C-alpha cells in the first residue's frame, strides 16, 4: 500500500453564481479520478458540498464539471491527466445556471433537446414487423456517428456560440436532431428541419470544433450540424420551411 | 426575421464565399501577371476599356462581396456587440449599398472611363 | 441560497486553447479587416479612375510605402481568410471527411508564405 504523503491542492467553486473558490487539501492516491477527489471532499471535509454523479463509469452523463478550465466528465478523468502542479480547480459547467457548488441547472439544456425535436416519432405499432435499416446505408452511418451521446452537456458548456447567443440550441441538441433526420423510420422530418433552421439553430454554428474536441464520447457534433445546415438551407430555398 | 430567411441568408453567404474564392484567385493571378515589368495607366486602361469579359468578372466580384461581407458582419454584430433587429439591418444594408456603389464605380472607371 | 442564483459561468481562455478555435478567431478578424478595407480600396480606385492622367497619379501614389504596406496587409488578410474559408466550406459541404485540421496548418503556412513572398516582391 502507498503512503499518503502527497496531497493535492483542490479549489472548488462554492455557492451560487456569486460564490467563490475554496481550497481543500486532498490526499493523492493512485489511479484517482477527479470524481474521487470531489467525493473525498464531501465525505471527509464538508458534507455540504453539492455535486452530481451516478454511474461512475461514463454512461449516465451526470458528473460533468469544469476541471482546470475545461469541461470534462469527472468519473472517467484521471487526476494524473489533468492536474497542474498537483493542483485542481473545479467549477460547475459554464453556460448553465449554477444551482449550488458544482451542480448546474440542466433544464435549458434538455429543453433545447425538445426544442430541436429530439424525440423519435415513428408510425409503426408493435403489431407490425421491425423496420429493416441497412447498416451500410449512408443515412444509417450518419445516425450511428452521433447516436452514442450520453447528454453530459460537456459540448454545450464548451461552445462559445451558446455563450454569445443564449437561445442557440447548441451542439448536443443539434447532434441529436441530425441522428433523427437520418433515421428513416422517423416521420416528423419537416417539423424538425423547421425547428433547427436559422440563427437559434444550426446556422448559428461557427465550426469552432470545440464541441467535437471536448466530447468524451468522441462524437463530432460539428459535422452533424454541418449536415443540418445544408439540408435545412436547401429546404428553405425550396420553400419547405415557410 | 424568420428561421427560413436566416437559413437562406446563410446559404447566400456560403455561395457568395465560393464565388469569391474563385474571383480572388483569378484577381491575384491577374495582378501578379500584370505587375510584371511595371504598370502604366495606358497599359491598364488599354486592357480594360471596352472589355466586357473584364467588366462582367468584376461586377460578379463586387456583387458577391456585397452579399458576403454584410451577412458576416451581421453575425459578429449580434454575437459580440449584442446588436439586434432593425438598426442592424439598416446599418448593414447601407454598408452593402456602399460596397455596390464604390465597387461598381471602380469597374465603370476602368471599363468606360 | 440554492436556486437563487440563475447566472451561468463563462469560459475563459483555457477552454479555447485549440487550433480550431484560433482558426475561427483569425478567420473572423481577417473578415472584419477585409470588410473595412475593401470599400476603401474600391473608393480609391474609382476616385483615381476618371481618366488616364488621374490613373497615372494614382499609380504614383501606389508607389508610396504606406500604400504598399496597406496592400500587403490586405493580401495577407485575404490569404488567411481564403484558406480558412475554404476549410469551413469543405467541413460544411463535405463533412464526411472530418474537421480538416490539416487545413489549419495550410492556413498558417499559406499566410506566412504569402506575407514573405509579397514583401520580397514589393521591396524589389
Ligand atoms: C476569398 C474568398 C472568401 C471565402 C472562401 C470566404 C469564406 C467565408 C466563410 C465560409 C465565412 C463564414 C464563417 C462563419 O460563419 O463562421 C466567412 C465569413 C466572413 N467573411 Fe468571408 N470569405 C471570402 C472573402 C471575403 C471577403 C472578400 C470579405 C470582405 C469583403 C469577407 C468578409 C467576411 C466576414 C466579415 C465574415 C464574418 C466572419 C465571422 O462570422 O466570423 N470574406 N467568409
Ligand atoms: S462547432 Fe458549432 S456547436 Fe461546436 S462549439 Fe463551435 S459553434 Fe458550438
Ligand atoms: S455530444 Fe458528447 S459532449 Fe455533447 S452531450 Fe453528447 S456525449 Fe456529451
Ligand atoms: S458518473 Fe455517470 S458519466 Fe460520470
Q: What separation in Å is there between the alpha carbon of C72 and the centre of ligand 4?
A: 53
Residues C18, A167 contacting (CB under 8 angstroms): no
- Say which residue the cell 504598370 belongs to: B39
The pick from A109, A170, A209 for probing ligand 2's pocket by mutation, whose C-beta has the most ligand atoms within 8 angstroms, reads: A209
Nearest chain C residue to B109 by CA distance is: C49
Higher pLDDT, C66 or A100: A100
Please give the number of the atom of ligand 3 that sits closest to the Cα of A151: 5
> Is C11 among the domain residues?
no
Number of domains in chain C: 1
pLDDT, position A3? 55
What confidence category does residue C52 fall into, taking pLDDT thresholds of 50, 70 and 90?
low
Which H, E and C letters describe C29-58, residue by residue? HHHHHHHHHHHHHHHHHHHHCCCHHHHHHH
Q: Give the integer Cα–Cα distance in Å for A205 and A155.
A: 13
* SS3 (DSSP) at B109: helix
Using one digit for the tens of pLDDT, what is the confidence trace for A177-197? Answer: 999 999 999 999 999 999 999
Residues 6+ apart with CB under 8 A from A78: A31, A32, A33, A34
pLDDT at C4 over 70: no
CA distance B60 to chain A (A): 21
pLDDT, position B85? 81
Please give the number of the atom of ligand 3 that sits closest to the Cα of A175: 1
Nearest CA to ligand 4 atom 3: A58
Nearest CA to ligand 2 atom 6: A208
Domain limits for position B43: 3-112
Residues A112, A173 contacting (CB under 8 angstroms): yes
Angle at C122 between CA C116 and CA C124, to 5 degrees: 105
pLDDT, position C51? 63
Mean pLDDT of C7-33: 94
CA distance B33 to chain C (A): 13
Q: Give the integer Cα–Cα distance in Å for A226 and A117.
A: 17
pLDDT, position B113? 61
| A233/B10 CB distance under 8 A | yes
Domain limits for position C92: 18-122
CATH number of the domain residue B20 falls in:
1.20.1300.10
Q: Give the integer Cα–Cα distance in Å for A107 and A101.
A: 17
CATH number of the domain residue C85 falls in:
1.20.1300.10
What confidence category does residue C5 fall into, taking pLDDT thresholds of 50, 70 and 90?
very low
Question: Is C39 part of the contact surface with chain B (CB cutoff 8 Å)?
Answer: yes
| B79/A164 CB distance under 8 A | yes
* SS3 (DSSP) at A84: strand
Interface test with C, best of A13, A210, A227, A229 (most C CBs within 10 A): A210
C46-50, C63-67, C113-117: range with highest mean pLDDT: C113-117
> Is C12 among the domain residues?
no
- Say which residue the cell 480594360 belongs to: B48
Of B28, B41, B106, the CB nearest to C52: B41
Chain B residues with CB under 8 Å of C28 CB are 76
Chain C residues with CB under 8 Å of B105 CB are 42, 46
Average pLDDT along chain C: 85
What confidence category does residue C63 fall into, taking pLDDT thresholds of 50, 70 and 90?
confident
Listed as ranges, residues in chain A with pLDDT below 50 are: none
Q: What separation in Å is there between the alpha carbon of B96 and the centre of ligand 2?
A: 28
Q: What is the pLDDT along chain B (113 residues), one digit of tens a residue?
A: 899 999 999 999 999 999 999 999 998 888 777 766 566 777 777 888 888 998 999 999 999 999 999 999 999 999 999 988 888 889 999 999 999 999 998 898 888 76
The total number of residues written for chain A in this structure: 242
Average pLDDT along chain A: 95
Global pTM reads: 0.92
| B3/A164 CB distance under 8 A | no
pLDDT, position C1? 34
Residues C22, A208 contacting (CB under 8 angstroms): no
Residues forming beta bridges with residue B98, ordered by sequence position: none
List domains and CATH numbers for chain A: 7-104 (3.10.20.30), 107-237 (1.10.1060.10)
Residues 6+ apart with CB under 8 A from B96: B66, B67, B69, B70
Using one digit for the tens of pLDDT, what is the confidence trace for C70-112? Answer: 888 988 999 999 999 999 999 999 877 888 989 999 999 999 9
Number of domains in chain B: 1
Long-range CB contacts for residues C109-116, cutoff 8 Å, separation at least 24: C110/C79, C110/C80, C110/C82, C110/C83, C111/C76, C111/C79, C111/C80, C111/C83, C114/C75, C114/C76, C114/C79, C115/C72, C115/C76, C115/C79
> Is C2 among the domain residues?
no
Q: What separation in Å is there between the alpha carbon of A48 and the centre of ligand 1?
A: 50
Question: Is C51 part of the contact surface with chain B (CB cutoff 8 Å)?
Answer: yes
| C9/A98 CB distance under 8 A | yes
> Is C4 among the domain residues?
no
**Which cell is A102 given?**
458544482
- With b meaning 16 or more CB within 10 Å and e meaning fewer, what string describes A46-58? eeebebbbeebee
Amino acid at each position: 500500500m502507498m503512503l499518503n504523503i502527497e496531497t493535492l491542492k483542490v479549489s472548488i467553486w462554492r455557492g451560487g453564481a456569486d460564490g467563490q473558490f475554496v481550497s481543500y487539501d486532498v490526499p493523492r492516491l493512485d489511479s484517482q479520478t477527479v470524481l474521487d477527489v470531489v467525493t473525498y471532499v464531501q465525505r471527509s471535509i464538508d458534507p455540504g458540498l453539492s455535486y452530481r454523479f451516478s454511474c461512475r463509469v461514463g454512461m449516465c452523463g451526470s458528473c460533468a464539471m469544469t476541471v482546470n478550465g475545461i469541461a470534462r466528465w469527472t468519473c472517467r478523468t484521471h487526476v494524473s491527466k489533468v492536474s497542474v502542479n498537483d493542483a485542481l480547480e473545479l467549477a460547475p459547467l459554464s453556460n448553465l445556471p449554477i444551482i449550488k457548488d458544482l451542480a448546474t441547472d440542466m433544464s435549458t439544456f434538455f429543453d433545447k433537446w425538445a426544442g430541436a425535436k429530439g424525440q423519435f416519432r415513428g408510425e409503426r405499432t408493435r403489431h407490425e414487423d421491425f423496420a429493416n435499416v441497412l447498416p451500410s446505408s449512408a443515412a444509417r452511418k450518419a445516425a450511428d456517428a452521433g447516436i452514442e451521446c450520453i447528454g453530459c452537456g460537456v459540448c454545450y458548456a464548451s461552445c462559445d456560440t451558446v455563450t454569445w447567443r443564449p437561445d442557440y440550441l447548441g451542439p448536443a441538441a443539434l447532434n441529436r436532431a441530425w441522428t433523427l433526420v437520418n433515421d428513416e423510420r422517423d416521420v416528423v422530418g419537416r417539423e424538425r428541419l423547421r425547428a433547427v433552421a436559422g440563427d437559434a439553430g444550426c446556422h448559428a454554428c461557427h465550426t469552432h470544433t470545440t464541441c467535437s474536441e471536448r466530447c468524451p464520447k468522441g462524437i463530432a457534433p460539428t459535422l452533424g450540424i454541418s449536415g443540418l445546415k445544408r439540408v435545412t438551407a436547401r429546404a428553405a430555398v425550396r420553400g419547405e420551411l415557410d | 426575421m424568420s428561421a427560413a430567411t436566416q437559413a437562406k441568408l446563410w446559404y447566400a453567404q456560403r455561395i457568395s464565399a465560393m464565388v469569391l474564392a474563385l474571383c480572388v484567385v483569378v484577381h491575384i493571378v491577374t495582378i501578379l501577371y500584370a505587375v510584371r515589368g511595371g504598370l502604366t495607366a495606358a497599359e491598364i486602361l488599354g486592357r480594360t476599356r471596352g472589355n466586357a469579359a473584364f467588366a462582367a468578372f468584376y461586377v460578379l466580384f463586387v456583387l458577391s462581396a456585397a452579399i458576403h461581407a454584410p451577412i458576416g458582419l451581421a453575425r459578429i454584430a449580434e454575437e459580440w456587440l449584442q446588436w439586434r433587429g432593425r438598426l442592424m439591418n439598416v446599418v448593414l444594408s447601407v454598408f452593402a449599398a456602399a460596397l455596390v456603389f464604390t465597387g461598381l464605380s471602380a469597374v465603370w472607371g476602368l471599363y468606360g472611363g | 441560497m440554492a436556486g437563487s442564483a440563475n447566472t451561468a459561468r463563462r469560459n475563459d481562455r483555457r477552454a479555447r486553447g485549440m487550433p480550431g478555435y484560433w482558426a475561427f478567431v483569425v478567420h473572423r478578424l481577417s473578415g472584419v479587416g477585409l470588410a473595412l478595407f475593401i470599400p476603401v480600396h474600391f473608393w480609391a480606385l474609382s476616385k483615381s479612375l476618371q481618366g488616364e492622367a488621374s490613373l497615372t497619379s494614382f499609380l504614383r501614389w501606389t508607389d508610396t510605402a504606406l500604400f504598399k504596406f496597406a496592400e500587403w496587409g490586405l493580401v495577407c488578410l485575404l490569404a488567411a481568410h481564403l484558406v480558412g474559408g475554404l476549410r469551413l466550406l469543405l467541413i460544411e459541404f463535405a463533412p464526411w471527411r472530418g474537421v480538416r485540421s490539416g487545413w489549419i496548418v495550410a492556413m498558417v503556412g499559406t499566410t506566412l508564405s504569402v506575407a514573405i513572398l509579397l514583401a520580397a516582391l514589393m521591396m524589389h
